[in-house]
Amino acid sequence: MKVILVAGARPNFMKIAPLMTAFGKRPRVTSILVHTGQHYDRAMSELFFQELGIPAPDVNLGVGSSTHAVQTAEIMRAFEPVVTAETPDAVIVVGDVNSTVACGLVAVKLGITLVHVEAGLRSFDRTMPEEINRVVCDAISDILLCSEPSGVENLRREGVPDRKIRFVGNVMIDTLLRNRDLAERSTILDTLDLSGEQPYAVVTLHRPSNVDDPGILESIMTVLDYIGRDIPVVFPVHPRTRLRLNDRGNSASSRSSLKLIEPLGYLDFLKLMAHAQIVMTDSGGIQEETTILGTPCLTLRENTERPVTVEMGTNRVVGSDPARILAACRAVMAKTASLRSGGKGNRCIPPLWDGRAAERIADIVLSHGRKKHYEQEHETGGVT
Ligand code: UD1
């Protein structure tokens, strides 16, 4: 059996790592890794391959940045000849980035089985580019693999037949659990002058809804600056956000109470999140990672497509209103200060976030492939 796995942007890499390992362990399976090149900076791509031990991509489409239409179209144009030449039994895409939907479209139009890992998540906010990618990719996928129960419910509501849906758990958490001890050896806290028991906050922001509107970005930066007067606020800045801050004459970058740093690698960032008093983010994956780490998370968006993180009690969706962010941040800091002597309190772990999601996925994909081969043989009188 031959499978093509697709990765394109930073949050894909930690999902692809355990899948490459799981498929690599299975005999008689050839797995081909295609990197679309959607993310290309060393700190956004290569570093993750090194740290997570992901083999070098077999093919790099080198597509790079552009508008949504051009980026999606270029990925499709470059991916189609790869699929045509390789004729895989399945194409596996992860998450909700432009690379996910672009490669998914190419696969199904060539009649190849499409597997979507992280299917069914819905923010119900069609202004998010990722929501469009999720809805489209799920509508065309043959095997829809869900990371949390809401994904299964959403797909059923949309009329996807049960035989296509499987609840497998979270591959991003496979990677977290596998790397947690290694991350503890990171010296990032010393580098940032945060050693010891000193509480600190971590921030990430990159959603167009937060960073593309100068007024919204300014008001968020102002409240972060305010919080930064109480505790250190470490903010690894995504390239998209860096561009927007630079567009604004860099006034935000000079705010003295914020530690604006370059994007971090996986292990440094994992350690930073694990020891933080609070994380404020608009990322999807970070809402999940903080759930496992037991670190309180404020989601600076109006919604989340990952409701299980809220149900588990670590995540709160607070939007981008500065007064709400400040009030929620102060409430978390007061609560965690009282908990500090006893650690992070009792933690709830979402079902099947157990480090074995990629193994389940490999088993499902292979058994689907075997069934398909059997059916094809049967149709041709058992002759292969
Ligand atoms: C993409 C995903 C988003 C994901 C995020 C994680 C889509 C629609 N969005 O958003 O879902 O949460 O990745 O990071 O797929 N840039 C660089 N270097 C890079 C990559 C990007 O400088 O390696 C800059 C470019 O100026 C580019 C901008 O960042 O135009 C945005 O990159 P892009 O891939 O279009 O979207 P992200 O905002 O990164």
**pLDDT at residue 198, as a whole number:** 87
Cβ atoms of 45 and 10 within 8 Å: the answer is yes
**pLDDT at residue 340, as a whole number:** 53
- Which atom of ligand 1 lies closest to the CA of 9? 13
Q: Which residues contact 289 (CB under 8 A, 6 or more apart)?
A: 172, 173, 176, 270, 273
Tokens of 46: 């290569």
Cα 283 to middle of ligand 1, angstroms: 12
CA separation, residue 280 to residues 110, 298, 341 (Å):
42, 5, 23
Strands annotated E in 73-190: 90-94, 113-117, 143-146, 165-167
- Residue 245's H or E segment, with its range, is helix 239-247
Cα 120 to middle of ligand 1, angstroms: 22
Q: One of 35, 39, 116, 206 is an active-site residue; which one?
A: 206
Active site residue 206: yes
The preferred substitution site among 65, 71, 246, 289 for testing ligand 1, maximizing ligand atoms within 8 Å of CB, is 65
**pLDDT at residue 251, as a whole number:** 55
CA separation, residue 261 to residues 200, 234, 257, 275 (Å):
15, 7, 13, 18
DSSP 119: T
Cα 119 to middle of ligand 1, angstroms: 21
Ligand 1 proximity of 271 Cβ (cutoff 6 Å): no
Ligand 1 proximity of 97 Cβ (cutoff 6 Å): yes
Which pTM was predicted? 0.95
At which residue do the structure tokens 């970058």 appear?
253
Ligand 1 proximity of 130 Cβ (cutoff 6 Å): yes
Cα 240 to middle of ligand 1, angstroms: 6
Ligand 1 proximity of 41 Cβ (cutoff 6 Å): yes
Strands annotated E in the chain: 2-7, 30-35, 59-60, 90-94, 113-117, 143-146, 165-167, 201-204, 233-236, 258-261, 278-281, 297-299, 315-317
- Which atom of ligand 1 lies closest to the CA of 100? 15
Cα 288 to middle of ligand 1, angstroms: 20
Q: How far apart are CA 58 and CA 54, in angstroms?
A: 11
Tell the residue nearest (CA) to atom 4 of ligand 1: 97
Cβ atoms of 100 and 126 within 8 Å: the answer is no
Ligand 1 proximity of 38 Cβ (cutoff 6 Å): yes
Tell the residue nearest (CA) to atom 15 of ligand 1: 97
Q: Could you tell me the mean pLDDT of each successive run of 10 residues in the chain, 384 residues long?
A: 98 98 96 98 98 98 98 98 98 98 98 98 97 98 98 98 98 98 97 89 97 96 95 97 82 72 98 97 98 97 98 97 97 78 70 98 95 84 48
Tell the residue nearest (CA) to atom 22 of ligand 1: 239
Q: Which amino acid is at 341?
A: S
**pLDDT at residue 378, as a whole number:** 86
**pLDDT at residue 247, as a whole number:** 81
N-term to C-term CA, the chain:
14
Cβ atoms of 1 and 366 within 8 Å: the answer is yes
Cα 43 to middle of ligand 1, angstroms: 12
369, 282, 275: which is closest to 317 by C-alpha?
Answer: 282
Q: Which residues are bridge partners to 337 per DSSP?
A: none
Ligand 1 proximity of 10 Cβ (cutoff 6 Å): yes
At which residue do the structure tokens 């498929």 appear?
23
Ligand 1 proximity of 306 Cβ (cutoff 6 Å): no
